Structure formats: structure tokens, C-alpha cells
């Protein structure tokens, strides 16, 4: 990383530094860069949405001011004068997929049908299906601790609720849960063995343990203490590499569920997705629908920032 850029990072608010560190390439921009070259560099960085483009341009402008580089600041302003949507349209074909379609979700759920599983998921199918579905429905945290702490005793079938906890001590209730998912979680909490094919013929059974006796997602007893969370990552990766093209991570599964539930509520209120996510549309009903789902899923993100993340991928919500 360029030494001047390192100094620049240290000069900004500590909460902003991680974001600035992701743009360390800015310190290596050549002195005589043109607006067209800068625009192409931004496209080549594969922004995921319009917000990423805004973040890059804002960071470059802040760095230019820090360095008293009026030439670079002028170049940034010229690129900013280009419609942000036009830059995104050029970048979009190579952008990272941030969520998948409902048809793709249905394909996974069909493939993980315990009564007729796809090849490679014959054993422990219910576990794979329930783990994937749980993350999609909002049972998720980046450190995987929420999944590790899911317990059958925290499930309220009558009210279709589940109490979730992370390792930081945060506790919250998630409502409107699919009854079938809650029942599947209870069944998973009673699983004591992991089935696996032997190298020869037949099946082998291995003991499983979890953080709690009624934990819904246990792991092999020999590895559980070190690898519970890594095990969830590995199992979700097996699912996503089997059913999706491109890189789909657990947070993409989580995003997808949020997007689809918002889409359903908007349609139920005769609000189009384009209308709800239109820039500067602060109408009460669409904003409240989006906010309520973010709060339900415990996704602490302002509505306007979430709209910026989703914009550019709206067609996926409609499929």
C-alpha cells in the first residue's frame, strides 16, 4: 500500500478506515490519469452496485483533498458528472451476484427433498436442507454464532417464532417463521448421528454433538469443539457450488431471503419493485415494508443504504 495512502487512512475516522482500506489501489493512481481511464478502473474493480461506485468516487475525492491534488479532484468531478447509472450498466455484466432468484431457491429446496434427494445429498439431506432454509429465512450472523446457538427449546411453534442469540450477548425474536422450517429444526435437534458412505460398501455412523444438548445444528463429535462454525460454512458451500453458477456465500443466501420477502409484501400492497426502490422515493408504505423486514431479519442497515445495495439487481427480485 502506498505510504501516503496509509497516512490518509490514519487521518480518517476509525469507523471509516476498513472501507478506505478496501480502496488502497487509489494510492497508486498515476498523476496524469484521465477521466476515461478513471472510469474504466472503477468498472474493472467490479462494483456490486451503484453504491460501490459512489464509495469509490467519494474515497478518491477525499484522498485528493488530503493530498491537495487539485488535478485528481477535477478528474473525479468529471467522472461524477457522468450518470452513475451509465457507469453501472457498463460494470453490471461482470458484477458479483448479491442474491439469487426465487426459482433458484425452489431448485435447491427440491434437490434437498429428504424423500427424493439429488445425488450427493442422499445422506443427512434434512440437515443440509434445514441449514440452507434457516439462513434464507434470516437465521444468520457473519460469525455463524446465531446458527451455532439455535436450540429447539427456543422455538415457539404456536406463535411461529424463534428466539435467536449470538456470541456477543444479543438476543432477539424472529417471527413469521415457516411452520415446516420450525418443525425441521426440532427434528434436527434430535439427530445424534452423521451418516457417511464407507470407502467400500455400506454406511458409517458418527456421533454428533452441539453447543447444547438440544442444539439444532450439531457436528461430528471429534471436530465439534473447533469446527462447528467452519462446518456450517463447508456444508453451505457444498450446496451453493452444486446448485449455483458463480460464487454464492452464506450472506448471499441471507440477502436473497430478505429481498424475496420484501418483494412479496410489496406485491401484496400493489407496489412495484421499481417504484419502491426508486431513488428519492421516501413514501411511507414501501419504506416501512423494507424497514420492517430488515428489523425482522436483524439486519442493522438503514433503508436508504439497503436500497442502494439492491438497486441494479431489481430484475432478480422479480424473477
Domains of the chain: which residue ranges? 3-94, 118-243, 250-318
Candidate from 20-34, 87-101, 237-251 with smallest mean pLDDT: 87-101
pLDDT at 213: 92
Q: Which three cell numbers stand for residue 174?
A: 424472529
> How far is residue 48's CA from residue 96's CA, in Å, rounded to a whole number?
5
Mean pLDDT in residue range 247-272: 92
User: Interhelix angle for 303-310 vs 284-296, to 10°?
Assistant: 90
Report the candidate in 143, 106, 46 with the shortest Cα–Cα distance to residue 256. 106
Mean pLDDT in residue range 10-27: 88
In this predicted structure, the answer to whether residue 196 has a pLDDT above a threshold of 80 is no
> How far is residue 240's CA from residue 255's CA, in Å, rounded to a whole number?
14
Mean pLDDT in residue range 190-200: 79
> Cell 445424534, residue?
192
Mean pLDDT in residue range 195-205: 73
pLDDT at 223: 54
Candidate from 46-50, 69-73, 177-181, 314-318 with smallest mean pLDDT: 314-318
- For the chain, report the end-to-end CA distance as a whole number of angstroms: 42
In this predicted structure, the answer to whether residue 288 has a pLDDT above a threshold of 60 is yes
| pLDDT top residue among 9 and 200 | 9
In this predicted structure, the answer to whether residue 182 has a pLDDT above a threshold of 90 is yes
> How far is residue 4's CA from residue 29's CA, in Å, rounded to a whole number?
12
Residue 19 confidence class, pLDDT cut points 50, 70, 90: confident
Q: Which three cell numbers stand for residue 147?
A: 446458527
pLDDT at 209: 83
Strands (E), the chain: 155-156, 161-165, 171-174, 193-197, 203-209, 219-220
- What is the tens place of the pLDDT at every residue in 207-250? 888 889 999 998 876 554 456 788 888 899 999 999 988 788 99
Q: Which three cell numbers stand for residue 2?
A: 502506498
Mean pLDDT in residue range 273-285: 85
The percent of residues in the chain predicted with pLDDT above 90, rounded, is 57
pLDDT at 222: 58
Mean pLDDT in residue range 20-31: 91
pLDDT at 188: 94
Long-range Cβ contact pairs of 163-167 (< 8 A, separation 24 or more): 164/139, 164/298, 166/141, 167/143
Mean pLDDT in residue range 14-41: 91
In this predicted structure, the answer to whether residue 197 has a pLDDT above a threshold of 80 is no
Helix (H, G, I), strand (E, B) or coil at 298: coil
Burial (Cβ within 10 Å: 0-12, 13-18, ≥19) of residue 177 = buried
pLDDT at 224: 46
In this predicted structure, the answer to whether residue 39 has a pLDDT above a threshold of 70 is yes
Furthest CA-CA distance within the chain: 72
Reported as type and span, the H/E element at residue 246 is none
Q: Check residue 169 and give left, alpha or beta (phi > 0: left; psi -120 to 50: alpha).
A: left
* Chain centroid, CA 147 distance in Å: 15
The percent of residues in the chain predicted with pLDDT above 70, rounded, is 96
For the chain, give the mean pLDDT. Answer: 89
Scanning 93-217, the segments in alpha helix (DSSP H) are 102-111, 125-136, 145-148, 179-189
pLDDT at 246: 78
| pLDDT top residue among 95 and 267 | 267
Amino acid at each position: 500500500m502506498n505510504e501516503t495512502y496509509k497516512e490518509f487512512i490514519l487521518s480518517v475516522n476509525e469507523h471509516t478506515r476498513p472501507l478506505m482500506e478496501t480502496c488502497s489501489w487509489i494510492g497508486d493512481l498515476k498523476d496524469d490519469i484521465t477521466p476515461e481511464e478513471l472510469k474504466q478502473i472503477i468498472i474493472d474493480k467490479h462494483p456490486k452496485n451503484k453504491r460501490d461506485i459512489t464509495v469509490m468516487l467519494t474515497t478518491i475525492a477525499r484522498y485528493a483533498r488530503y493530498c491537495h491534488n487539485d488535478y485528481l479532484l477535477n478528474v473525479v468531478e468529471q467522472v461524477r458528472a457522468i450518470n452513475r447509472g451509465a457507469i453501472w450498466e457498463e460494470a453490471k455484466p461482470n458484477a458479483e451476484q448479491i442474491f439469487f432468484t426465487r426459482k433458484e431457491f425452489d431448485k435447491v429446496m427440491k434437490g434437498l427433498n429428504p424423500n427424493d434427494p439429488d445425488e450427493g445429498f442422499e445422506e443427512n439431506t434434512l440437515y443440509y436442507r434445514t441449514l440452507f432454509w434457516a439462513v434464507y429465512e434470516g437465521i444468520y450472523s457473519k460469525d455463524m454464532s446465531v446458527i451455532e446457538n439455535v436450540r429447539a427449546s427456543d422455538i415457539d411453534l404456536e406463535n411461529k417464532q424463534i428466539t435467536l442469540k449470538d456470541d456477543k450477548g444479543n438476543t432477539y425474536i424472529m417471527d413469521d417463521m415457516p411452520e415446516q422450517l420450525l418443525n425441521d429444526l426440532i427434528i434436527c435437534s434430535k439427530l445424534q448421528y452423521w451418516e457417511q458412505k464407507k470407502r467400500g460398501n455400506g454406511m458409517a455412523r458418527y456421533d454428533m454433538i452441539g453447543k447444547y444438548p438440544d442444539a439444532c445444528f450439531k457436528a461430528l463429535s471429534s471436530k465439534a469443539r473447533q469446527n462447528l462454525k467452519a462446518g456450517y460454512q463447508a456444508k453451505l458451500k457444498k450446496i451453493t457450488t452444486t446448485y449455483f453458477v458463480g460464487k454464492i456465500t452464506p450472506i448471499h443466501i441471507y440477502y436473497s431471503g430478505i429481498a424475496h420477502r420484501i418483494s412479496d409484501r410489496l406485491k401484496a400492497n400493489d407496489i412495484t419493485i421499481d417504484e419502491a426502490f426508486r431513488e428519492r422515493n421516501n413514501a411511507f408504505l414501501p419504506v416501512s415494508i423494507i424497514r420492517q423486514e430488515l428489523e425482522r431479519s436483524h439486519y442493522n442497515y438503514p433503508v436508504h443504504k439497503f436500497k442502494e445495495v439492491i438497486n441494479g439487481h431489481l430484475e432478480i427480485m422479480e424473477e
